[in-house]
Each structure stands twice: as C-alpha cells, then as structure tokens.
Amino acid sequence: MIFCLVFVGELIFRMRLQGRTFFSYSQDWKWNLFDSVVVGFQLCDQIYSLAETDEDDAGFFQRVGIIRTFRLARLARLVRLVRLIPELKSMVYLILASMPSFFWTVTLMSLMLYVFSIHFTEIATDMARSSSLTADEEEALEQYWGSLMMSMLSLYMAITGGVDWRNLTKAFTEESALSNILVLVVFIAFATLVMLNLVTGVFVEGAQRIIKEEQDQEVMRMAGKIFVAADADLSNCISWEEFVAMADSPAMQRYCEAIGITYEEADELFAILDKDKSNSLSISEFVSGCLRLRSTARSVDVAQLHRDIEQSISLLDRRTLATHKMMKEVCEWVSDAKPALPEAQPGSP
C-alpha cells in the first residue's frame, strides 16, 4: 500500500510538472506511458485487495480472472532497469534487433526440416508396411519417424543435441541403413557446419552494426553538448578562440577519446573540420566531421580524395607552366635590355 501511494504520488507530481508534454512532445513520453500503465495496474490490484475484505463482493472479483493479472503486471516495472543499466540496455536492444533475423532463421530451418522429414517419413512408412522389422526396430521407428511432426522433431534434436543421432539410425533396417544414414549425415553436416554458422555470422554482423549505430549516436550527443558549451556568444558557430578555450575541458578530452584522436591532435581538429575555411565551425560541420574521423574510409571517400589529388596536381602543373613561361619572358627581356659590354683595351685589367 505504501509503495502504491508513493508511485501514484510521484506520477501525479510528474504530470503536474510536465503538463501536456507528459504523453507527447517529450523525449520520455513512451516511458511516461509505460509508468502510467504499470501504476494503474498496481492501483487496480490494491483496489481489488481492499474489495476482497468484503465477503459479499469477494466471489465476484474472484470470478474476474483478469483482475488476478494485476499483481503480475507489477513485475513489468523491472523493465525500468533496462534503461538504468547501460550494459543491460545494450543487451536487450541487441536481442530485440535480432528478432527479424531470428524469424527468418526459424523459417529457413523449418523449411529444411520439412523437406528432409518428408523423405524420412516416407521411408519409415514403407518400412512399417513390411513384416521383417524386429520389436526394437519397430519401437524406434514409431518413436522417431512415426509421423511428419515426429520426424521434424527428431531432426531438430539431432542438430541441437536433444538426442544422439546414432539412436535415430537404429530404426533403419540393414537393407536401407546405408542410404538413409548417408542422407541423415549430409543433413546434420549441412545444418551444423553451414546453416548454423551462417546464422551466427548474421547475428554477429547485426550486433556489430547496432553497436556502431549506438556509438555514433552517443558521439553525436556528446558533440552537441560540447558545441553548446563552447558557443559562448550564442552565435551557432564556434570560433577558433572558443574552440581553444574548450580544448582543455574534461568533456573535450572524453570526446577526443571517443572519436579516436589524442589530446595533442585536438589543435589540428579545428582546421580539419573547417571545410569552408571560414575560421568558424557550424554544428553540422562539427558533428558530421567528427563522425567521419571516427569511421573508416569508404570507397567514395577514397575516390573523392583521388579526385582532389588529381585536381591539385593539374592545378600545380598549370601554375608551373605559367611560371616557366613567365621566367622565360623575363630572361628574354633581360637579355634584350642588357647593354653591350665595351671591348677590352690593350693593357687594361
């Protein structure tokens, strides 16, 4: 009861404080809605507990099965721990982001199990019609390959360790043991060595992509905070003086570590980010430039660098030719303007 009163009071205070932005136009409106639902369930549970004290109404509330779920709904508040602990938050986000890949993995595996199960079920049906089966073979045949669903379950257990696949071969007769065992071995080899490893690679790649996106978002948030702190004159641009004043701050040092540069290289960061050479950095130049420094070079970046180098070499060649032509003209003008030297007199030094 005390916890319920505390949570309800806290929720009311937050509603009064944020007003209409509590459920909209707020960064945490989804969490606010979640808290409202959980507190509502807890409040209903307390009302239900109080109503149980009346013997006349107890039977009615006991017949309403959905009321009993209110107590279980209070456990949903543990989801708030996901937001408070960064490591747990990352793990949950990775699991949620892997759900599409997991769905298509299950679909692909189901199709493969279905195809091979049809083969083994037909083989088992033909073997069951013959009267040459022993009691052990007939029991194993019924246990593992008795129906299509049992065949799919047996194949799934064979590749996941639910049953030793050696036991699955006991149902095969000596006449068909070699061919059936060969098909089963090929299935297990393909499922474990190819399919499962490929699925693992897909999950790992997706996890790395999500981690990189989260790190990029964190870098963008850090860049935004640094930009606001450095923009002392509120001009929406960072000058060189403001950048130097901010360079010694702990926030700037953590930001340099996040984008992968050392503190000594922070002085050169301004010149690198100032693409338009305006001696000032806008927020777009600051954030996008730092993200480019953090990420690896793409093929388009290499191609753009190659184009810039070719343009620089072409401009340098034109200026070199112009300079050579100018020097040649200067030499010709000097040779034409130079007076002829007098002839040397005999005995003169």
Distance between CA 310 and CA 303 in Å, rounded?
Answer: 11
Question: Do 255 and 200 lie in a common domain?
Answer: no
Mind listing the pLDDT tens digit for each residue in 138-190? Answer: 787 888 888 899 999 999 998 888 888 888 887 776 666 788 888 888 899 98
Residue 344 lies in a domain: no
Token pair belonging to 324: 């050579």
Cβ-based burial of 216 (10 A; exposed 0-12, middle 13-18, buried ≥19) = middle
Distance between CA 259 and CA 228 in Å, rounded?
Answer: 18
Question: Do 243 and 316 lie in a common domain?
Answer: no
Distance between CA 169 and CA 150 in Å, rounded?
Answer: 14
Question: Do 104 and 25 lie in a common domain?
Answer: no
Question: Do 269 and 246 lie in a common domain?
Answer: yes
Find where tokens 């004290």 sit: 53
Distance between CA 288 and CA 272 in Å, rounded?
Answer: 12
Distance between CA 128 and CA 106 in Å, rounded?
Answer: 31
Give the CATH number for residue 260.
Answer: 1.10.238.10
Q: If you average pLDDT over every residue of the chain, what do you get?
A: 76
Question: Do 285 and 198 lie in a common domain?
Answer: no
| pLDDT in the model for residue 331 | 83
The total number of structural domains in the chain stands at 4
Question: Do 131 and 193 lie in a common domain?
Answer: yes
Question: Do 103 and 195 lie in a common domain?
Answer: yes
Mind listing the pLDDT tens digit for each residue in 16-72? Answer: 888 877 777 666 777 788 888 888 888 877 787 777 655 555 555 455 555 556 666
Helix (H) or strand (E) holding 239: strand 237-239
Name the more confident of 346 and 300. Answer: 300
Distance between CA 80 and CA 94 in Å, rounded?
Answer: 17
Mind listing the pLDDT tens digit for each residue in 323-337? Answer: 888 888 888 787 776
| Domain extent for 114 | 99-206
* pLDDT at position 228 over 60: yes
* 272 contacts 261 by C-beta, under 8 angstroms: no
Question: Do 177 and 249 lie in a common domain?
Answer: no
